[in-house]
Amino acid sequence: MFREITPDDRELYYRYVDIFYHSDAVEAPVPRKNYEVTFNELMRSSDYLKCYIFEDGGKPCGFALLSKTFSQEAGGVSVTIEEIYIDKEYRGRGMATGFFEYLNSIEGIARLRIEVEDSNEGAKRLYERMGFKLLPYLQMVTDR
C-alpha cells in the first residue's frame, strides 16, 4: 500500500509534489527548486524528513512527506505530515487510513501534526476520524 521513497523515484516525487501544489489542497505553489532541495535531503538522511510512495498493485498513486522535530510541549518527537496526496481514483480505498494507523503504531512518536486548508472539508473529516483535533492557536512564520 505504501513504501519508502528511493533514489529512482525522483521524477515521480517531482510529479506528485507538482500535482499537490497545484491542487485545491494548498493556496499557492512552491518553486521547483524546493522540490529538488527536499528530494536531495530525503536521499541524504532521514534525520528530518521521510517520504512514502503510495501504490496500488505496484502502480504509484500518491505520496506523503513527513518532517520530524522534538517538542517540549508534546514531551517528545513530533512528526508533521507536511503533504499527503492520493490520486482521486484511489481515494476512499483506505490508503490514508492505513497510513495514519501505521504512523500511530510507531514507537517514540509523541505527537502527529497535519495542516489542512479550511476549505478542504473531505480532508478535515478524515483527519478528525483519525483523532486529529484543531489547535487552539495560530502559527506564524518568517521565510528567509
Predicted structure pTM score: 0.93
Classify residue 141: in a domain, yes or no: no
Classify residue 88: in a domain, yes or no: yes
Classify residue 6: in a domain, yes or no: yes
- Please give the average pLDDT of every successive group of 10 residues along the chain, which has 144 residues: 97 96 87 96 96 97 98 96 96 94 96 91 91 90 87
The domain containing residue 53 runs over which residues? Answer: 2-129
Look up the CATH number of the domain holding residue 56: 3.40.630.30
Domains in the chain: how many in total? 1
**HSE on the CB side for 30, CA within 13 Å?**
15
Q: What is the pLDDT of residue 16?
A: 97
**E strands, 11-118, in order:** 49-56, 59-71, 76-86, 109-114
Classify residue 27: in a domain, yes or no: yes
- The Cα–Cα gap between 58 and 144 comes to 39
